[in-house]
Amino acid sequence: MLEIAFIRNNAEHVKERLAVKHFKELNLVDEAVVVDEKRRAIQKQLDDNLAKQNAIAKEIGELFKQGKKDEADAKKAETAALKEESKTLEEQLSNNETELKNILVRLPNLPNALVPVGKTPEDNLVVKEAGVIPALFPDALAHWDIAKKLNLFDLELGVKITGAGFPVYRGKGAKLQRSLVNFFLDNAVEAGYHEVIPPHMVNEASAFGTGQLPDKEGQMYHITLDEFYMIPTAEVPVTNIVRDEILEEKNMPVKFAAYSPCFRREAGSYGKDVRGLNRVHQFEKVEIVQIAHPDKSYEVLDEMVRHVEGLLTKLELPYRILRLCGGDMSFGSALTYDFEVWSAAQKRWLEVSSVSNFETFQSNRMKTRFRDESKKTRLVHTLNGSALALPRIVASLLENHQSTDGTVKIPSALQPYTGFSILS
RNA sequence: GGUGAGGUGGAUGAGUGGCUGAAAUCAACAGUUUGCUAAAUUGUCGUACUGAGAAAUUGGUACCGAGGGUUCGAAUCCCUCCCUCACCGCCA
């Protein structure tokens, strides 16, 4: 959520930047300014009113103490009109604040200056491509066929138990999941992240804090009986650790890493996009989160990008890094790098990580501040990234590292975790 | 799920209608003292919105779990909800 004080003083700039995101309702910016102006006027009047009431109440208290009961009773009448008026003003203020919030909540974050102009995924900027794209033999298999032959996971079984998109991993397939999670977590802890295991459901306030509500309500599974939401990513519970907190600058950046299952409804997906592990409703992921000083958040973003790169390199997977264009980046992000790995048999790039700087978009919602040198409170910057999401990593591992004999080689960095060097 | 107790500032904790934005202690921060450490001592020590000011600063308002209510006036009284703790029940 953008800060109203900033919009107030930079309305034209805000509109300009929002246009880069192809945001259509630029008129909302002006509306916000108008509503805010009204809000301040109402607030001033209300505050003045309350000040008068407080003064009278104080006088009455004095009179009572002096035993001048009649005078005190006479004074009481004076407040009646004020009270009536204050009540009306309070109502107006509350309506006005709701109106303002409804507008602010619809405004996306401003894109950073580095964000490429563009509308579609084709406009994303490839900033790096690394690793060797393997030249596969003729009858190389897609990961779902490999999984079937080697009995690594079973999608049909998941359908019976739950529904489409809930894979059952088994045998070495299950062990591979566990190994990857440990591998990713160990790397994160090694890089200075504090490991946490967060709740897998969150309340409404947390979902609002990171921006899932109200914007992406349909993405989450909603437990209506208890008003909980299944987390679509550990970003939600982990970032909310610092909700309503004032941090000490010397403790920043705060670095968290968390493994969690992720639950996504993914309504409306179909076709080859959802084949095999390409898109599922439940998957495993290790997420890294940093709470950073505003002046240093872009260094932090680069550091996180390098961390993810390191993981992909160790897994010997060909990957590329994209800087998302204005039209393709998410609502709350100021700058996003997507990581894609090459899916050899499908011959396409699969997104396995998204690393973003949200600047103050989330912290303004969460009221997460820090105290700077002059003891003033300022909003922190929040960043997060997948490091990494498992299903497409598994898809890519299977497809890229398959051999003509139908087995799959495990990258050496992962072997200490799996305890085996090939899937057969 | 049942019963009981309770939710006050970074922590402990006082406060049953006006003198309480909130005692006291501890922690923290700044200074004094000291050869260093320790001790002692003085001061500072919540957040948000908002008015004035270039700024330092300063005026107003709100906030004592959340939301309503009573009252001229609420941390204090009433109602609803949430949470914590203890005991019981159930249970990985």
Query: Per-residue pLDDT tens for A113-125?
Result: 999 999 999 999 9
Instruction: Please report how many Cα atoms fall inside a 13 Å half-sphere around the Cα of residue A324, on the Cβ side.
Output: 22
Band the pLDDT of A274: cuts 50, 70, 90: confident
Q: What whole-number distance in Å separates Cα of residue A147 and Cα of residue A320?
A: 25
Centre a 10 Å sphere on the Cβ of residue A272 and count the other Cβ atoms it contains: 11
What ipTM does this complex have? 0.86
Is the per-residue pLDDT at A138 higher than 80?
Answer: no
Domain boundaries, chain A: 4-104, 121-423
Averaged pLDDT score across all residues of chain A? 91
Answer yes or no: is A50 CB < 7 A from strand B: yes
Query: Per-residue pLDDT tens for A409-423?
Result: 999 999 999 999 999
Query: Per-residue pLDDT tens for A289-318?
Result: 999 999 999 999 999 999 999 999 999 999
Q: Give the pLDDT mean for A8-20.
A: 93
pLDDT at position A103: 93
Amino acid at residue number A92: Q
pLDDT at position A74: 80
One CATH from 1.10.287.40, 1.10.260.40, 3.40.50.920, 2.102.10.10 for A4-104:
1.10.287.40
Which architecture, in CATH terms, is A121-423?
A: 2-Layer Sandwich (3.30)
Tokens of A423: 């899937």
Answer yes or no: is A81 CB < 7 A from strand B: no
How far does the CA of A77 sit from the C1' of B72, in Å?
8
User: In DSSP terms, which residues pair with A385 in a beta bridge?
Assistant: A288, A355
Is the per-residue pLDDT at A268 higher than 70?
Answer: no
Nucleotides on chain B that have an atom closer than 7 A to a protein CB are 18, 47-51, 59-62, 71-73
Answer yes or no: is A331 CB < 7 A from strand B: no
Is the per-residue pLDDT at A179 higher than 70?
Answer: yes
Q: Give the pLDDT mean for A155-182.
A: 94
Is the per-residue pLDDT at A269 higher than 70?
Answer: no
Query: Looking only at Cα atoms, what is the longest distance across chain A?
Result: 103
Which range in A54-63, A83-92, A369-378, A383-392 is most confidently predicted, on average pLDDT? A383-392
Q: Give the pLDDT mean for A139-167.
A: 92
> What percent of chain A has pLDDT above 70?
99
Provide the edge-to-edge strand list for the sheet that holds A222-223.
Answer: A201-202, A228-230, A222-223
Q: Which of residues 20-49 of A touch strand B (CB under 7 A)?
A: 40, 43-44, 46-48
Band the pLDDT of A80: cuts 50, 70, 90: confident
Least confident of A69-83, A320-334, A366-380: A69-83
Answer yes or no: is A54 CB < 7 A from strand B: yes
Q: What whole-number distance in Å separates Cα of residue A265 and Cα of residue A261?
A: 13
Band the pLDDT of A321: cuts 50, 70, 90: very high
How far does the CA of A335 sit from the C1' of B46, in Å?
35
Is the per-residue pLDDT at A216 higher than 80?
Answer: no
How far does the CA of A342 sit from the C1' of B7, in Å?
55
User: Where does A234-328 show beta strands of DSSP type E?
Assistant: 246-248, 254-263, 282-292, 319-323
Answer yes or no: is A6 CB < 7 A from strand B: no
pLDDT at position A140: 84
The single residue listed with the structure tokens 């910016």 is A29
Q: Are A198 and A260 contacting, i.e. CB atoms less than 8 angstroms apart?
A: yes
Long-range pairs for A194-199 at CB < 8 Å and ≥24 separation? A194/A254, A194/A255, A194/A256, A194/A257, A195/A256, A195/A257, A195/A258, A196/A238, A196/A241, A196/A256, A196/A257, A196/A258, A197/A258, A197/A259, A197/A260, A198/A231, A198/A234, A198/A237, A198/A238, A198/A241, A198/A258, A198/A260, A199/A231, A199/A237
pLDDT at position A69: 77
Answer yes or no: is A205 CB < 7 A from strand B: no
| pLDDT, greater one: A267 or A327 | A327
